[in-house]
Amino acid sequence: MRNYSLLFLLLFISFLKSQGSSPYISPGIQLGWTTKANFFLSTQITFGYVSYYGPPPFGLTIGLRTYRMKRKWEEYVYGDFQIWPFLGGIGVGKIVNIRNKNKYTRFKTGIGALVYATYDYCKDCGVLKHNIGAIGTIPLFNFLGGNYRPL
């Protein structure tokens, strides 16, 4: 088992150091509405990988979303896996109501760069099922090494 761990570590390091690639961090802020006219605000951070020659950009996102529900705010945390091959992408993950711990499957899609339009669908989530918004992000490349130059 130890040999596999060492092999995985060597492959991972070479993956990160390959030509024209980089891990990245991308914080973001999102504003939007549900189809039932509930306002929401999200903050998130994505940890990902981008390469000229490797797989399409992908990342793991964690975030906090607050929905305006009548006279109160409801908070949810979420995590998802995303893949963005061009100026659009898709993702799947979980969203959890902080108050009652209910978990819902979350599917997302978006189009754009730096500021982009988003749509996400939360299965079995009642009035919060369909969410439409706009998110602004700031991708930070080469923070752990790498030589990806997006411009």
Q: How is residue 37 written in tokens?
A: 């006219």
Q: Considering the chain, what is the average pLDDT of its residues? A: 85
Contact residues for 145 (Cβ-Cβ < 8 A; gap 6+): 16, 17, 22, 23
Mean pLDDT of 121-139: 89
Name the pairing type of β-strands 39-51 and 115-122. unpaired
Mean pLDDT of 127-145: 84
- Looking at the predicted structure, is the pLDDT value of residue 119 above 80? yes
Q: Answer whether 61's CB lies under 8 Å from 80's CB.
A: yes
- Looking at the predicted structure, is the pLDDT value of residue 9 above 80? no
How far apart are alpha carbons 44 and 11 in whole angstroms? Answer: 29
Nearest to 61 by CA among 77, 73, 39: 77
How far apart are alpha carbons 43 and 80 in whole angstroms? Answer: 14
pLDDT value, residue 128: 86
pLDDT value, residue 17: 54
- Looking at the predicted structure, is the pLDDT value of residue 1 above 70? no
- Looking at the predicted structure, is the pLDDT value of residue 147 above 80? no
pLDDT value, residue 114: 84
Nearest to 123 by CA among 95, 84, 88, 89: 95
pLDDT value, residue 19: 59
16-75: pLDDT as tens digits = 555 567 788 999 999 999 988 899 999 999 998 888 777 888 999 999 999 998 889 999
Bridge partners for 136 per DSSP: 29, 115
67-106: pLDDT as tens digits = 998 889 999 999 999 998 888 999 999 999 999 999 999 9
Nearest to 51 by CA among 79, 14, 88, 9: 14
pLDDT value, residue 51: 81
